[in-house]
Amino acid sequence: MYRLFFRIHAIQRMFQREISIEDVKHALATGETIEEYPDDTPYPSRLVLGWRGGRPLHLVIADNKESEEKVLVTVYEPSADAWEKDFKRRKTK
């Protein structure tokens, strides 16, 4: 079992975007990794697409595997202007 931590930036964005802790936990538990950022520091991170009801959510999660911690860096509702209809792939310009 992992521990989930929230960066201050993530908490601010959750408040601004009306995303609850329950929304984040559900999206993380049921979502899928759509991009990986292995060179991020201090921990590798990834972009997770999850859903809460009909609302898509993108979560940037940093994984500290040594201490079994996940850190929510940010969370947002992806824009249909920037993402394909499935919200898994960025639109090409």
**Domain residue extents for the chain:** 3-76
**β-pair type (3-6, 69-76):** parallel
Sheet holding 69-76, edge to edge: 3-6, 69-76, 55-64, 45-52, 32-37
CATH of 3-76, one of 1.10.1740, 3.30.2310, 3.40.50, 3.40.30: 3.30.2310
What is residue 2's predicted lDDT score, i.e. its pLDDT? Answer: 85
**pTM (two decimals):** 0.92
Whether cis (ω within 30° of 0) applies to the bond prior to 42 is yes
Q: What percent of the chain has pLDDT over 90?
A: 92
Gap between the Cα atoms of 17 and 81, Å rounded: 18
What SS3 state is found at 59? strand
